[in-house]
Chains A and B, each alone.
Chain A
Amino acid sequence: MSKYHNFLKRPLSRREMLGICQGGFGALAFTSLFGALPMGCDRPKNLVSEPELYRGPHHLPKAKNVIFLYMDGGVSQVDSFDPKPRLAKENGEDPRKKFKVDATQFDNVGKILKSPWDFKQYGDCGMPVSELFPHIATCVDDLALIRSLTSKFPEHTNANYFLHTGSGIQGRPSMGSWMTYGLGSDNKNIPGYVVLDGGLIPPGGLDNFKNGFLPASYQASILKSGAEPVSNIAPKEGIPNLQEEKLRFIKEMDNSLIGKMGEVDAVESAISNYELAYKMQSSIPELTEFSEETKATKKLYGFDSDDPHTRGYAAQCLLARRLVERGVRFIELTCPNVGVDRWDQHNNLKDGHERNAHAVDQPIAGLLKDLKSRGMLEDTLVVWTGEFGRTPFAQGTNGRDHNPSACSMWLAGAGIKGGTTYGRTDEYGYRVIENEVTIHDLHATIMHLLGINHELLTFRFGGRDIRLTDVHGHVIKDILT
């Protein structure tokens, strides 16, 4: 680090600090609150003029961070975590003779299709997992499995927006934006909401990760592997110390401007942002520098796999852990591109699901084990889900279409009761028949674990105090410790 490491002369004023908090990077004020006694629910009066006061935490949090493993395209529940023997029995029969079949995305309803994979029971809890996930299967005692997640949309884009923002239409803030809006980040040198681009940006594009009507500071930063992991993070000066000298000059000139015109909050925060930006230039590339990780750790994640996609996803998972270590609030991993277009197997289910599963299974298990052995799983929430499930009958002959009426997902880590199974589908795995969990419920639960009351975290837009959970959502208490 050079002498410009602290090129801000004065200590931060209270107003500057607030400025930074509003900028979403620091949230220094909230850092001190975190882990301390709950701020209580004293909701301030003048909500319109002081929306920032409405934020969390509202109660003692269980989780500090969230790692969201997004299984883009929709994993088939009956082939992964929700075994249905009846499908084998009735394989090849006409589903319309068995139950009412809803309209589907491709309108190409085939016969009932049994799972190509066997299920076995694992762990003390005896949770059945299919052959697709031999590694995750060894972690079942840490998982709370939900077999009853539903969505409202059978189309990818709407379902993606719904899962990410609580609304099926473009433009609402992403859940990661809400979390950082509510809690800030614990690290002011790294953004609070990071998306690790594993290769595939989900349908609906970057808007899945946008801030919507929240200030732009709460949008996700996209991290890619490669020389410039974050947009514009690498200085282009080419000469050592040149950028530092320029920044020093800039700071001096800016300070003399402040001297001339008196204190102006906005301009002062803009000046201090250069400090943060400068620090990010070194803190971000350092993140992706894995040399300090042991061989054993890397092996655990699957760095030595023959499958390049496994190796790629392993790096993303390890990076996620490193981000958690640095206090990043919300991390989402998108899917690797294994060449069959995500989990969206409208045909060749067997090949496609196997390739996807192979890419993510070992890295995810590695991540869970690594977090656990470091004691980090206690305050890190890991969420694994797609945007919807798939049909128990075939699309064509060997694929499965979208099914928003039932989806299996799991959570692990902070505040989660491991080895639990919650919710039930019918004998075909087509519809939820017990303990339906909506996307709103999922959001409410994630927020709850982070210490946020989902009904209290609001933002005034278009004349309404809008929540991530709209007017819905219940915390799923049964899966919590």
Chain B
Amino acid sequence: MFRIVNRRLENVILTTVFLLATLSSCSDNKSYSEPLPENVDFNFHIRPILVQNCYLCHGPDPSGRKADLRLDTFEGATAALKEGGYAIVDGKPSSSQLVYRINHEDEDQIMPPPESNYKLTDREKALLEKWIDQGAEWKEHWAFIPPISSIKSSSKTTIDSLVNIQLENKQLVKSPEASKNSLIRRVSYLMTGLPPSPDDIENFISDNSPQAYEKMVDRYLNTDAYGERWARHWMDLVRYAETKGHEFDYSIVGAWRYRDYLIRAFNDDVPYNQLVKEHLAGDLLDSIRYNPESKIAESPIGTAFFAMAEGTHSPVDIKKDEADRIDNMIDVTSKTFQGLTVSCARCHDHKFDPILTADYYSMYGLMESTRFTPVAAEKTITTEKSVKEIEDLKVYMRNLISTKWDENTIAKNTISSEEKAATDTTYQIIGNFRNADLDGWKSNGTAFGNRTTLGDPILNSTSSKLLKLDEGRASSKLFSKGIFGSLQSQNFIIDQNFIGIKARGEKSIIRLVIDNFQLIQNPIYGELEMQVNNAQWKNYTIDVSPYKGHKAYIEILPGGYQRHAYQLPEEAYIEAEYAISYHSDWPAEVNSQSSFTAQIHQLNAQIKNGKLPTQFPGLKSAFDRSQRLAQNLISQSVFYGVTDGFGINSPVFIRGNHQELSEDKVQKSFLSALPKGGIPFNAKGSGRLQFANAILESENPLTSRVMVNRIWHHLFGRGIVETVDNFGLQGKLPSHPELLDYLAIKFQNENWSIKEMVRSIVLTDAFKRSTLRNDELLQLDPTNTYLASFPIRRLEAEAIRDGILVASESLNDSLYGPPVATYLTDFMQGRGRPSVSGPLNGNGRRSIYLEVRRNFLEPMMTTFDRPIPFSTFGKRDVTNVPSQSLIIMNDPFVAEQAEQMAKKLLTQNGLTFEEKITWIYIRSFSREPSTEELEDAKEFIALLEKLELQNESEGDDELNLWKQYCHSIFNLKEFIYLI
């Protein structure tokens, strides 16, 4: 046996040597598309070849690994092969099986095998060989190495110098600075999404000071429109939508508050690390950020992005539905903040990146421990303070009473202080609210406070005498009606037939949330929600026998859902005594009433019998004050966000199948390949805050790079890493690695200021260059990777529409608020179609304020490449299709705006023909027309006049004429391109 193997090896080596001899002899003469680099770098030259051609079978995922060979680690690639030899022997290509196999001519031997449809080019083979020859130096994937920069002191010119190094290396000649008109148009559109106003243009053109450009940039940086522009960029990442799609397109209540939150955040330049924290854990922060003007709590609104996913109303398999929803959250979260595609590890370890299935299910547990819920939208510092003060007042009032009722006055307690032992085993208590505490339930929002009503004084409203002390119950009107809040049980696994809640209330509901499923309705799940609309105590029962084995929690909340839109009527309230689960019949008596209840009964009896004092100086005023304070808490407005549930660790779903679970559960932790990764969070709840902190660890190599790259992408139209959402092994390599690292470090050093980063980039020479490219540039750098000129860019959907509104002077620039209803064409049909269409012109509002209905997306937006909101899209497509032309040619909105513009033009008194054309040009192209263009315009207008005369068109001839001209102007490419 040994001999045979040996002979085979011998053969192998002989062939290899022969082959290499022939190879190296011809490779010297070969001309490759690009000459081989002097030093072959693993990250920049070798890994892309391996990832693309080898990792499907020899990558990090063991499930598909062939021949036990992994080429994603140095150890793996240099380990002894099963069939003898080594894939890679550093410094010795001739001994490396890899070199042998990639050059093999036999179909059974060559790598990659023909059936894989992968094939190495000669250059790739030569690169691999040269790299092994140079010692096969292995490096970690570039994006996992923390950014380093040799730049010691940064200055205004640092960015340019880093761009210039590449230009000089490639011997590319820089284009000159763009004209002032181009510059102001570029800056205005890219920073605010709007064209510059005629006044701004004039100011800038006439400002000959050296600071003119910088002043202009700062002006735009500080307009409200800046926030609108950058918020919309961000909305692409979090699949922003205002409805849930699926069959009936139900609303995502208050989504717009998140949009407004973003606009404010970008305008206020909230540091990026704060934004990250607020998105992932804004509901869990110790110190909440309040809006300086409105005083509302901003931080929790960030979490709304979790709730922006699609939603299914009657999934037959409720657990699978949860798995799909969580998958989407993992996908969006990991791409947005880390530029990683963690959801690729749902069924197996990531095929390319060091992301394990365990990482996926660790994040899964994190999401599973997070609950969807309405969140009070207008919580302020006053709210917090009022709650605190009311609570203090209650303590004060109880003390007031109890100190006066010293022990002697209180009749001896005849009831044993021992709780009655629960002897009845036919039921279990899930929550008991007859004591002072909420029995471990979560009180979200303000309504239920953090204790029951036990012992609260009840006063006679006229005599202000104490009537009695209140018994214990959880109450949504603990402070007052009209306050949002919900009370949620811990998670439990359904193991009995019924859930019962003793409750009373008005226009309120009790819900059983199974597997985090929220869209409760008929036909399948209608019974999981019970209306509570009776002031008398009643037993409310849900038959949960079909759901045995599922995890669930009970939710009690005032108000209810209308087509899944939460509403809180003023009179709504709900109170509960206890919640139980039981097998067959509601137990005759639910025990474990505490001694408190009995005591309260006794005390109240004594009060009634006049045996206890009932007048307390100060009680009435304290009581009144607490009542008054409670008025501060009243607020019905909510948005859909999240709250922390109780910590759940998820098992691994074997091959992604939710019905096939691993025995062990995965503890929640950060991604194992990154700093602070793999260490279990010691959080009681979801661990989202720890997750956010890990993302913001200073050694995290991705967070800062990913964000500065996004900023660069939005300004230059292409990221330094082109695949802005994927920094993994399949992503593109950075075109300017040093620059990226420099910016990433600068970003952190400058307190994660997005505005400062935008400003630094916009102030560079690279940003100011003209778009003109000579033939040499076209040849040497056809894709303009190295930025010798500024890239020509088509405006985004929103900027095109908004630009039209500005040109026609119809833009309504009011900020914020509920969205403008979608304008519905005849082509927009299907279930969930709103009964009324919105206005054609969207009330003149900026596009960011137009409603995003998943099943009725605005055609102009989608046709001009606004992404469909289902995943993270950091980089929009820029397509070129006739339907875009058709919109500008024939859409009634564009025609209407052309008429609007013509009307505005004609209200200008005493303009000459030339001045009219100039008026239009400044508004449309941010520049004046050339003499030639004036001539063309004259000729064209004359032609239009002739046509109109021939056809005796109706209406105002002059207006029609200019309308047609303006409409033509909208159709020019210069209108939708930044030239």
Residue among A231, A234, A278 making CB contact with B827, cutoff 8 Å: A231
Task: Please tell me if the beta carbons of A238 and B953 are within 8 angstroms of each other in the complex.
Answer: yes
- Tell me if A157 counts as interface (CB < 8 A to partner B): yes
Task: Please tell me if the beta carbons of A463 and B728 are within 8 angstroms of each other in the complex.
Answer: yes
Chain B interface residue count: which class?
A: 35 or more
Task: Please tell me if the beta carbons of A264 and B792 are within 8 angstroms of each other in the complex.
Answer: yes
Residue of A nearest to B355 (CB): A463
A-B contacts, CB under 8 A, total: 259
CB distance from A58 to the nearest CB of B (A): 10
Task: Please tell me if the beta carbons of B871 and A107 are within 8 angstroms of each other in the complex.
Answer: no
- Tell me if B879 counts as interface (CB < 8 A to partner A): yes
Task: Please tell me if the beta carbons of A236 and B863 are within 8 angstroms of each other in the complex.
Answer: no
- Tell me if A253 counts as interface (CB < 8 A to partner B): yes
Task: Please tell me if the beta carbons of B868 and A23 are within 8 angstroms of each other in the complex.
Answer: no
Interface hub of A41, A104, A215 (most chain B Cβ within 10 A): A215
Task: Please tell me if the beta carbons of B794 and A270 are within 8 angstroms of each other in the complex.
Answer: yes
CB distance from B26 to the nearest CB of A (A): 20
Task: Please tell me if the beta carbons of B726 and A155 are within 8 angstroms of each other in the complex.
Answer: no
Given A23-B879, A105-B314, A242-B964: A462 and B885 interface contact (C-beta under 8 Å): no
Task: Please tell me if the beta carbons of A22 and B341 are within 8 angstroms of each other in the complex.
Answer: no
- Tell me if A239 counts as interface (CB < 8 A to partner B): yes
Chain A proximity mask over B885-912: 1 for CB below 8 Å, otherwise 0: 1110111100100000000000000000
CB distance from A26 to the nearest CB of B (A): 10
Residue among B341, B725, B881 making CB contact with A464, cutoff 8 Å: B341
- Tell me if B781 counts as interface (CB < 8 A to partner A): no
Task: Please tell me if the beta carbons of A233 and B936 are within 8 angstroms of each other in the complex.
Answer: no
Task: Please tell me if the beta carbons of A206 and B968 are within 8 angstroms of each other in the complex.
Answer: no
- Tell me if A29 counts as interface (CB < 8 A to partner B): no
- Tell me if B686 counts as interface (CB < 8 A to partner A): no
- Tell me if A290 counts as interface (CB < 8 A to partner B): no
Task: Please tell me if the beta carbons of B973 and A170 are within 8 angstroms of each other in the complex.
Answer: no
Which residues in B have their C-beta under 8 angstroms from that of A456?
A: 117
Q: Which of B738-773 contact A (CB under 8 A)?
A: 771-773
Which residues in A have their C-beta under 8 angstroms from that of B310?
A: 169-171
Count of residues in A whose CB is under 8 Å from the partner chain = 96
Residue among A201, A207, A233, A257 making CB contact with B829, cutoff 8 Å: A201
Q: How far is the CA of A203 from the CA of B248 in the complex (A)?
A: 8
Q: Which of A226-275 contact B (CB under 8 A)?
A: 226, 228, 230-243, 245-247, 249-250, 252-254, 256-257, 261-264, 266-267, 269-271, 273-274
Which residues in B have their C-beta under 8 angstroms from that of A155?
A: 247, 312, 314-316
Task: Please tell me if the beta carbons of A231 and B335 are within 8 angstroms of each other in the complex.
Answer: no
Residue among B343, B856, B967 making CB contact with A205, cutoff 8 Å: B856
The A interface, classified by DSSP as helix, strand, loop or mixed, is loop
- Tell me if B328 counts as interface (CB < 8 A to partner A): yes
Interface hub of A106, A107, A197, A254 (most chain B Cβ within 10 A): A107
Chain B proximity mask over A101-137: 1 for CB below 8 Å, otherwise 0: 0011111100000000000000000000000000000
Interface hub of A206, A235, A240, A456 (most chain B Cβ within 10 A): A206
Chain A proximity mask over B955-977: 1 for CB below 8 Å, otherwise 0: 00000000010011001111011
Task: Please tell me if the beta carbons of B880 and A157 are within 8 angstroms of each other in the complex.
Answer: no
Task: Please tell me if the beta carbons of A462 and B331 are within 8 angstroms of each other in the complex.
Answer: yes
CB distance from A346 to the nearest CB of B (A): 9
Stretch at the interface among A43-51, A349-357, A438-446, A473-481: A43-51
Interface hub of B315, B865, B936 (most chain A Cβ within 10 A): B315
Q: How far is the CA of A170 from the CA of B774 in the complex (A)?
A: 45
- Tell me if B832 counts as interface (CB < 8 A to partner A): yes
Chain A proximity mask over B921-957: 1 for CB below 8 Å, otherwise 0: 0000000000011001000100110011001010000
- Tell me if B524 counts as interface (CB < 8 A to partner A): yes
Which residues in B have their C-beta under 8 angstroms from that of A103?
A: 316-317, 524
Task: Please tell me if the beta carbons of B890 and A232 are within 8 angstroms of each other in the complex.
Answer: yes
Q: How far is the CA of A460 from the CA of B886 in the complex (A)?
A: 29
Task: Please tell me if the beta carbons of B889 and A157 are within 8 angstroms of each other in the complex.
Answer: no
Task: Please tell me if the beta carbons of B883 and A232 are within 8 angstroms of each other in the complex.
Answer: yes
CB distance from B370 to the nearest CB of A (A): 20
Residue among A158, A201, A228 making CB contact with B312, cutoff 8 Å: A158
Which residues in B have their C-beta under 8 angstroms from that of A269?
A: 880
- Tell me if A154 counts as interface (CB < 8 A to partner B): yes
Task: Please tell me if the beta carbons of B882 and A280 are within 8 angstroms of each other in the complex.
Answer: yes
Which residues in B have their C-beta under 8 angstroms from that of A233?
A: 886, 890
Q: How far is the CA of A245 from the CA of B859 in the complex (A)?
A: 27
Which residues in B have their C-beta under 8 angstroms from that of A224?
A: 826-827
- Tell me if B63 counts as interface (CB < 8 A to partner A): no
Stretch at the interface among B118-126, B135-143, B495-503, B549-557: B118-126
Given A222-B827, A249-B968, A273-B882: A231 and B870 interface contact (C-beta under 8 Å): no
CB distance from B619 to the nearest CB of A (A): 55
Which residues in A have their C-beta under 8 angstroms from that of B865?
A: 215-216
Chain A proximity mask over B102-125: 1 for CB below 8 Å, otherwise 0: 000000000000000111110010
Task: Please tell me if the beta carbons of B794 and A203 are within 8 angstroms of each other in the complex.
Answer: no
Which residues in B have their C-beta under 8 angstroms from that of A43?
A: 117-119
Interface hub of A19, A24, A273, A462 (most chain B Cβ within 10 A): A462
Q: How far is the CA of A127 from the CA of B591 in the complex (A)?
A: 69
Residue of B nearest to A54 (CB): B117
Task: Please tell me if the beta carbons of A250 and B972 are within 8 angstroms of each other in the complex.
Answer: yes
Residue among A153, A217, A230, A246 making CB contact with B971, cutoff 8 Å: A246
Q: How far is the CA of A281 from the CA of B890 in the complex (A)?
A: 10
Q: How far is the CA of A269 from the CA of B885 in the complex (A)?
A: 11
Task: Please tell me if the beta carbons of B731 and A463 are within 8 angstroms of each other in the complex.
Answer: yes
Which residues in B have their C-beta under 8 angstroms from that of A247?
A: 889
Which residues in B have their C-beta under 8 angstroms from that of A201?
A: 829-831
Task: Please tell me if the beta carbons of B121 and A45 are within 8 angstroms of each other in the complex.
Answer: yes
Which residues in B have their C-beta under 8 angstroms from that of A231?
A: 825, 827, 859, 883, 886
- Tell me if A156 counts as interface (CB < 8 A to partner B): yes
CB distance from A209 to the nearest CB of B (A): 11
CB distance from A388 to the nearest CB of B (A): 11
CB distance from A198 to the nearest CB of B (A): 11
Interface hub of B732, B831, B859, B977 (most chain A Cβ within 10 A): B831
Which residues in B have their C-beta under 8 angstroms from that of A154?
A: 316
- Tell me if A202 counts as interface (CB < 8 A to partner B): yes
- Tell me if A204 counts as interface (CB < 8 A to partner B): yes
- Tell me if A150 counts as interface (CB < 8 A to partner B): no
Task: Please tell me if the beta carbons of B973 and A270 are within 8 angstroms of each other in the complex.
Answer: yes
Task: Please tell me if the beta carbons of B889 and A243 are within 8 angstroms of each other in the complex.
Answer: yes
Which residues in B have their C-beta under 8 angstroms from that of A249?
A: 936, 940, 943, 968
Residue of A nearest to B869 (CB): A171
CB distance from A468 to the nearest CB of B (A): 16
- Tell me if B14 counts as interface (CB < 8 A to partner A): no
- Tell me if B66 counts as interface (CB < 8 A to partner A): no
Q: Which of B705-735 contact A (CB under 8 A)?
A: 723, 725-726, 728, 730-732
Which residues in A have their C-beta under 8 angstroms from that of B971?
A: 246, 250, 274
Which residues in B have their C-beta under 8 angstroms from that of A245?
A: 940, 943-944, 947
CB distance from B794 to the nearest CB of A (A): 6
Q: How far is the CA of A335 from the CA of B180 in the complex (A)?
A: 57
Chain B proximity mask over A185-204: 1 for CB below 8 Å, otherwise 0: 00000010000010011111
Which residues in A have their C-beta under 8 angstroms from that of B794?
A: 266, 270
A-B contact pairs, 12 of them (CB 8 A): A154-B316, A155-B314, A155-B315, A169-B324, A206-B855, A213-B871, A232-B891, A264-B792, A266-B878, A270-B977, A274-B882, A462-B335
Further 18 A-B residue pairs, CB within 8 A, beyond A155-B315, A204-B830: A41-B117, A45-B120, A168-B324, A171-B868, A217-B881, A235-B889, A242-B944, A246-B968, A246-B971, A249-B943, A253-B933, A261-B979, A262-B774, A263-B778, A266-B977, A270-B880, A273-B884, A273-B885
Query: What 5 pairs between A and B have smallest CB-CB spacing?
Result: A171-B870, A205-B855, A463-B341, A201-B830, A277-B885
Chain B residues at the A interface, C-beta cutoff of 8 Å = 52, 117-121, 124, 245-247, 249, 310, 312, 314-317, 324, 328, 331, 335, 341, 343-344, 352-353, 523-524, 723, 725-726, 728, 730-732, 771-774, 778, 792, 794, 825-832, 854-857, 859, 862-865, 868, 870-872, 877-887, 889-892, 895, 932-933, 936, 940, 943-944, 947-948, 951, 953, 964, 967-968, 971-974, 976-977, 979
